[in-house]
Amino acid sequence: MSARPHSPIHVTSARGRVVASYGRHLLVETDDGRRVRCHPRGKRTDAVVGDMVDWLPSGDEGVITAIHPRRSLLRRQDELRTKTLAANMDQVLIMLAAEPVFSDEHLTRALIAARDADVAPLIVLNKRDVQPAFDDAWQRLEPYRAMGETVLPLCVGGALPDDGLDTLVSHLRGRATLIIGASGVGKSTLVNRLVPSAQAQTQAISRALGTGRHTTTHTTWYWLDEARSGAIVDSPGFHAFGLHHIEPRRLASLMPDIAALVGGCRFANCTHRQEPGCAVRAALAPQGPLSPRRWQLYQALYDELSRARAHG
Ligand SMILES: Nc1nc2c(ncn2[C@@H]2O[C@H](COP(=O)(O)OP(=O)(O)OP(=O)(O)O)[C@@H](O)[C@H]2O)c(=O)[nH]1
Ligand SMILES: [Zn+2]
């Protein structure tokens, strides 16, 4: 059937996945693997890496017309702003190392943010060859293992016969994983070993987004395999997770070691700070199983989130 003359051309939108973002520039990958530079329609810039979107061709580029409902959304919020990190992640890999010494406060914040977003956390401790710092760090992670978190040892850039990479890869297969970590933990070393073409891809993305050949400061989605089942998302820089989007009252439920105890408190609305008959306080070591440091982190975060509500 031929089109009527002068009938408007109906361009249907196509589906795609946001695989890189740099400010308002987004790179969208189509189902057949093509990559198209896209802009959000209007002033809204709310599509992020991992989002499934509808887009319409516009010249050589595309316009994003819709964002599909998200399975998950990882974000951090401090007193100044909310920053969305990635959408539709299954897992967040929190990368720590024997050195630099990790902050258990940052770790706790990342775990809370992951649980709040319904994204499974995976803790990785790198630089197993650096001793005795590695054993000290492994020991500091004991409360996290005890509460059921998975902690994997790794030696991604050192010279040990067992680098732990195979075990890590088995946790990444078939999932979309956001990797976060402080500077110097070995994040780039890991990304380059998992995705040998990462640097070449980054350069291609910089060219496509027009951000300059050496710009690597964009969030990037890398497929782990030809079949495009598993992926890692690398995001530049490290920022502590601001948790201001979380109600202080919800905090205990997002910290598994504390959540396991709250059923025993005398008052149903116990905040586990100074109420009598508090099962959380009663469980503090050495009498009980709860690490005093974890309770201290809980209290500090509770105060911070309460202040944020009061001033927000
Ligand atoms: N001993 C040892 N060194 C490692 C290991 N993994 C990485 N490194 C080294 O740690 C340093 C930091 O590694 P990077 O991969 O650059 O770390 P990064 O987390 O990407 O750091 P930024 O680039 O600052 O964000 C480098 O000198 C690596 O060679 C390891 O398993 N053992
Ligand atoms: Zn209590």
Give the tens place of pLDDT for each residue, 143-154. 999 999 999 999
- Can you give the pLDDT at residue 218? 80
Q: Which of 124, 188, 193 to mutate to test the pocket of ligand 1 (most atoms within 8 A of CB)?
A: 188
Residue 107 contacts residue 135 (beta carbons within 8 Å): no
Does 182 carry a binding-site annotation?
yes
Does 293 carry a binding-site annotation?
no
Q: Could you give the CA distance from residue 98 to residue 138 in angstroms, rounded to a whole number?
A: 8
Distance 40 CA to ligand 1 centre (A): 36
Q: Could you give the CA distance from residue 130 to residue 282 in angstroms, rounded to a whole number?
A: 37
Q: Rounded to an integer, what is the distance from CA 153 to the centroid of its chain? A: 19
Q: Where are the domains of the chain?
A: 14-67, 73-234, 248-311
Output DSSP code: residue 4.
P
3-state class (DSSP) for residue 134: helix
Residue 40: cis peptide before it, omega within 30 degrees of 0: no
Q: For the domain with range 14-67, which CATH number is right: 1.10.10.10, 3.40.50.720, 1.20.950.20, 2.40.50.140? A: 2.40.50.140
* Region 187-214 average pLDDT: 85
Instruction: Kindly report the pTM of this predicted structure.
Output: 0.92
Q: Could you give the CA distance from residue 44 to residue 46 in angstroms, rounded to a whole number?
A: 6
Q: 41 pLDDT band (50/70/90 cuts)? A: confident
Residue type, 39: H
- Can you give the pLDDT at residue 207? 82
CATH class of 73-234: alpha beta
Radius of gyration of the chain (CA): 22
Encode pLDDT of 70-104 as tens digits. 999 998 887 777 788 899 999 999 999 999 999 99
Encode pLDDT of 98-108 as tens digits. 999 999 999 99
Q: Could you give the CA distance from residue 172 to residue 120 in angstroms, rounded to a whole number?
A: 12
- Can you give the pLDDT at residue 3? 46
Question: Which CATH code is given to the segment(s) 248-311?
Answer: 1.10.40.50
* Region 20-45 average pLDDT: 86
Number of H helices, E strands in the chain: 9, 13
Does 188 carry a binding-site annotation?
yes
- Can you give the pLDDT at residue 158? 81
- Can you give the pLDDT at residue 77? 81
Encode pLDDT of 121-135 as tens digits. 999 999 999 999 999
Is the pLDDT confidence value at 118 over 50? yes
Is the pLDDT confidence value at 39 over 60? yes
Is the pLDDT confidence value at 24 over 80? no
Query: Which residue's alpha carbon is at the smallest distance from atom 4 of ligand 1?
Result: 157
* Region 174-185 average pLDDT: 96
> What is the 3-class SS of 250-285, one letter each residue?
HHHHHCHHHHCCHHHCCCCCCCCCCCCCCHHHHCEC
Q: 9 pLDDT band (50/70/90 cuts)? A: low
Q: Could you give the CA distance from residue 57 to residue 60 in angstroms, rounded to a whole number?
A: 7
63's CB contacts (< 8 A; 6+ apart) are 38, 39, 40, 41, 55, 56
Model ipTM value = 0.98
Q: Could you give the CA distance from residue 154 to residue 168 in angstroms, rounded to a whole number?
A: 8
* Region 283-291 average pLDDT: 90
- Can you give the pLDDT at residue 308? 86
Q: Using alpha carbons only, what angle is made at residue 136 by residues 287 and 116, rounded to the nearest 5 degrees?
A: 70
Structure tokens at 245: 């989007």
